[in-house]
Amino acid sequence: MKKAWRVILVIVAIAITVGAVCAGVGLLTGADTDRIGTILEERIAEQYNVDAYAFIHDWIPEAAHTIQDGLF
What pLDDT, on the 0 to 100 scale, is given for residue 63? 81
- DSSP of 10-36: HHHHHHHHHHHHHHHHHHHTT--HHHH
What pLDDT, on the 0 to 100 scale, is given for residue 7? 92
d(CA 30, CA 18): 18
d(CA 41, CA 70): 31
pLDDT digits (tens), the chain, 72 positions: 888 899 999 999 999 999 899 888 888 888 777 887 787 778 877 787 777 677 777 888 888 888 887 765
pTM above 0.75, yes or no: no
